[in-house]
Amino acid sequence: EDPIVLKSKFNRMFMGEDGNVKSHLTELLELQSSLTDTSYKVEDGDFVLRILESLPPSYDSFVMALRCLPDKTVLTSRYVMDALIEEADRRERRRHLTERSSQGGVAFGADSQKQETEEEDIHWQVPLLPEEWTQGKRLFQEEERRSS
């Protein structure tokens, strides 16, 4: 396919509110790969920006948390994709918990939210990320609590 068309698709790709994060990232990666051998090669920093800018408004607090990391933190595409997948998984777990509570299966109040957060901290599985990830995660969780 024509590199100009590929670059245009890459720059105009957005994930919908109900979109699947893994599918969206796969599509972006495929377009990035297709552009690798052209004059429109996408560098890692530009790829990070495209990922963050392609997310729907419901991910604004996630994007802000990443952008609030210390200046010395270099956001690589691998780092951002791992964090984004973890965030999508966390949202999915929360959605299931909310659905179960609305069906009378689980009480969903301050105590259950606290317990869920503690469980998430235990099961946080983003391998080999810089120490600053902990700070970014904390900022993100604080922002999310304020918006709830």
Under 8 Å CB-to-CB from 37, ≥6 apart: which residues? Answer: none
For residue 108, the one-letter residue type is F
C-alpha gyration radius of the chain:
17
Q: pTM of the predicted model, to two decimals?
A: 0.66
Rounded to an integer, the average pLDDT of 6-12 is 94
In whole angstroms, give the CA distance from residue 85 to residue 51: 12
Identify the pLDDT of residue 135: 57
In whole angstroms, give the CA distance from residue 139 to residue 122: 17
Identify the pLDDT of residue 8: 94
Judge whether residue 6 has pLDDT over 90.
Answer: yes
pLDDT digits (tens, 9 = 90+) for 22-42: 999 999 999 999 998 899 999
pLDDT digits (tens, 9 = 90+) for 43-70: 999 999 999 999 999 999 999 999 888 8
pLDDT digits (tens, 9 = 90+) for 98-146: 777 776 654 445 444 455 444 444 444 444 444 545 556 666 677 677 7
In whole angstroms, give the CA distance from residue 20 to residue 12: 17
Identify the pLDDT of residue 123: 42
- Among 47, 55, 49, smallest CA distance to 15 is for 55
Q: Between the CA of residue 141 and those of 43, 104, 114, 134, what are the distances in Å?
A: 30, 26, 12, 11
